[in-house]
């Protein structure tokens, strides 16, 4: 299957966002955390769509970097968003 055939459609992303948002209100901590993770991943997918379209429209321009692009890895972005009060050098239970 080609990559373009497996993309999530806008309505599917919105359904996942609603599902994740609903899970965030669950009283069980692990279910609520899973909901937050789903919403964060949807936001990351949308951000990457913008970056990809920008690269298609302006292929000769170097990418613009700002503070929101740092840290670069998804693991670091999730850690930063889910546990902003923790020391950024702390591995926080994430395994490499």
Predicted pLDDT of residue 6: 61
Q: Which residues contact 78 (CB under 8 A, 6 or more apart)?
A: 37, 40
Please report whether residue 89 resides in a domain.
no
In this predicted model, what pLDDT tens digit does every residue of 10-67 receive, in sequence order?
889 999 999 999 999 999 999 999 999 999 999 998 888 888 888 888 787 766 565 5
Dihedral (CA of 75, 78, 80, 82) sign: negative
89, 71 in Cβ contact below 8 A? no
pTM: 0.55
Is the confidence at residue 69, as pLDDT, over 90? no
> How many separate domains does the chain show?
1
Residue 50 belongs to domain spanning:
7-82
Is 59 part of any domain? Answer: yes
Query: Is residue 28 domain-resident?
Result: yes
Q: Is 55 inside a domain boundary?
A: yes
């Amino acid at each position: 299957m080609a990559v373009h055939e497996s993309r999530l459609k806008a309505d599917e992303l919105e359904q996942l966002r609603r599902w994740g948002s609903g899970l965030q209100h669950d009283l069980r901590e692990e279910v609520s955390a899973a909901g937050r993770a789903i919403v964060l991943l949807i936001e990351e997918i949308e951000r990457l769509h913008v970056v990809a379209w920008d690269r298609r429209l302006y292929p000769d321009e170097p990418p613009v970097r700002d503070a929101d692009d740092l840290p670069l890895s998804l693991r670091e972005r999730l850690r930063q968003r889910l546990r902003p009060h923790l020391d950024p050098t702390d591995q926080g239970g994430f395994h490499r």
